Chain A
Amino acid sequence: MPKELWKGNEAIAEAAVRAGLEAYFGYPITPQTEILEYLSRRMPELGRTFVQAESELGAINMVYGAACTGVRVMSSSSSPGMSLMMEGISYIAGTEVPAVLVNVMRGGPGLGNIAPAQGDYNQAVHGGGHGDYQPIVLAPASVQEAIDLTALSFDLAEKYRAICMVILDGCVGQMMEPAEMPEMKPVHRENWDWNTDAKMGKRERRVLSSIYIEPAEEEKMNLRVLNRWRTIEAKEVRYKEYFLDDAEIVVVGFGTAGRIALSAVREARTEGIKVGLLRPITVSPFPYEVIDQLTARADAFLVTEMNSGQMLEDVRLAVKGRVPVEFYGRLGGVVPFPDEILNEIHRMAKSKLSLDVHPRDAWLERMAHA
């Protein structure tokens, strides 16, 4: 297919349609509304289901119901709306049905603002809702990646009977880039052994629920989900490397922060600084092992995020205190420019770095004196 200029949000919507999305339930919120708007036109055109629910709570519970029937289902929202969905998300996880959710993150907490941010990292990678479960979380940095990962998320969700969340920010959502759409896939319902499919009387009865009154039964469910998660961790880690072959400083950033870091890394390379970039694509499961291996040959890490250092803690878990980890973040919807990250690379290339201070404390200290 030829490349077309796609806006991130609309590209996600069309990619979902082409992946066989049969039902969408959502509620408008900036900077995500184009997904809903696009699907409100596109889904009826194809004879598929589109519902603008009365609220995010309504939408997520409709997703839950549709997911139980085994159709490909999706909802999308932005930060405050995702928070509203958390109860339903936990129920979906507890029922072990697949669902795709898109969060176009904005400045927060609370109502915050509509500017691009990455403050929902912790909420996303740790599940957000109550109970023991972990969703798969994909973080695209470009429109093409948003398309590819949206399509992939349906496969992953079904394969592992899990929630697959795509997290991006207003930057990727609103941006236009040349991108290629996958071929239109015909709607196809797998013959699962778990979904409710109106075949009562023709086979053994199926019950889908997240209730396990007996703790021992709940524990079995918890372990089943946990074992599935271990397979996901082993098989589904994705990331992209830039200039890492001889890198002494490794920058780690996801989504928009990752691609902004690429500009800084490229600039630093022209100055002869041996710096590379690791851009996690799955932030859950997180590429701990790759960072572990990089620690053996890198002198230091720089984590850069549009939040107060949430992925930072995952990088520190992987580095295990062996080399210094530094942090640079912008918060509240402020998008960093490449020169800010370049300044950090310069500082790290020149000065002796400490293993003793928490990188967030050191960063706050530098901000206070800037």
Chain B
Amino acid sequence: MQKEIIISGFGGQGVLFAGQVIAYAAMDSGKQVTWIPSYGPEMRGGTANCTVVIADHEIGSPLVKNPPLVIALNLPSYNKYETMMQTGGTLVVNQSMIDRGAKRADINTIFIPANEIAEQIGDRKLTNMVTVGALLAALPELALETIEAALKAHLPARHQHLLPKNYEALRRGFESAKEQMSVAV
């Protein structure tokens, strides 16, 4: 088993942390995992991304050319990665930040109004967790509970009070994606 995930968005949208949460969950469930950020000048604004690879074996390349799983938190990321995705892949798009539908019919595009959902929960910063929840609907190798446990285990003490809202964000994203996927099938 090997799964590659790219998470991409503006700096400040929690792109790198979203990837780390997935990496922690993979590690805690005994899998091999790599997390690698884009570390260029784009860290200071513009589009940031990270790549997470999860596998049962020793991971070779930590970077991937044609990802099967992508979270696009903004329009530039949607434009960039939609064309690069593997056929049959799943693309989670933050619908709150885009103005167009899907161009590719050979991938599953899941539209999640992540900003709105996060605001409903009460914190705009939860946008990333909403989309991570949505991605999990297409990543059965990682259970929602595993991500929740990873958050609990690795969030510093000063952030532990935010856990319930993070859980809610993950679940709302997950359910929203499940709904869309059942309609699509």
Q: Which A residues are within 8 Å of any B CB, using their own CB?
A: 3, 5, 30-31, 114-115, 170-171, 174-178, 259-266, 335, 337-339
Q: Which residues from chain B contact A5 at a C-beta distance below 8 Å?
A: 20, 23-24, 27, 33, 35, 154
Instruction: Note all chain A residues with C-beta closer than 8 A to B98.
Output: none
B60 close to A259 (CB less than 8 A):
yes
Which residues on the B side are within 8 Å of A3 (C-beta)?
27
Contact with A along B33-46 (1 / 0, CB 8 A): 11111011000000
Q: Which residue of B lies closest to A242 (CB)?
A: B58
B59 on the A face (CB < 8 A): yes
Contact B60 A263 (CB under 8 A): yes
Cβ contacts under 8 Å, A338 to chain B: 60-61, 65
Residue with the highest number of chain B CB atoms closer than 10 Å, among A170, A171, A261, A339? A171
Q: List 19 A-B contacts (CB under 8 A).
A: A5-B20, A5-B35, A30-B39, A114-B40, A175-B62, A176-B20, A176-B23, A177-B59, A178-B27, A178-B32, A259-B61, A260-B63, A263-B60, A263-B61, A265-B60, A266-B60, A335-B63, A337-B63, A338-B60
Do B37 and A174 touch (CB < 8 A)?
Answer: yes
CB distance A262 to B35 under 8 Å? no
Taking CB as reference atom, which chain B residue is nearest A257? B61
Shortest C-beta distance, B4 to chain A (Å), equals 10
- Number of chain B residues whose Cβ lies closer than 8 Å to a Cβ of chain A: 22
Q: How far is the CB of B178 from chain A (nearest CB, A)?
A: 28
A251 to chain B, nearest CB (A): 11
In chain B, positions 46-69 with a C-beta closer than 8 Å to chain A are 57-65
> Nearest 4 pairs between A and B by C-beta?
A263-B60, A262-B60, A176-B35, A178-B27
User: In the complex, are the beta carbons of A261 and B60 less than 8 A apart?
Assistant: yes
B51 to A, closest residue via Cβ: A175
Q: How far is the CB of A341 from chain B (nearest CB, A)?
A: 9
Which residues of A have CB within 8 Å of B24?
A: 5
Q: A262-B60, A264-B60 are in contact. Are A170 and B39 (CB under 8 A)?
A: yes
In the bound assembly, the distance between CA atoms of A338 and B63 in angstroms comes to 9
Q: Is the CB of B34 within 8 A of A175?
A: yes
Query: How many Å lie between the Cα of A262 and that of B35 in the bound state?
Result: 17
CB distance from B91 to the nearest CB of A (A): 20
How many angstroms between the C-alpha atoms of A262 and B39 in the bound complex? Answer: 24
Do B39 and A114 have beta carbons less than 8 Å apart? yes
Residues of the B chain whose Cβ atoms lie less than 8 Å from the Cβ of A265:
60
CB distance from B29 to the nearest CB of A (A): 11
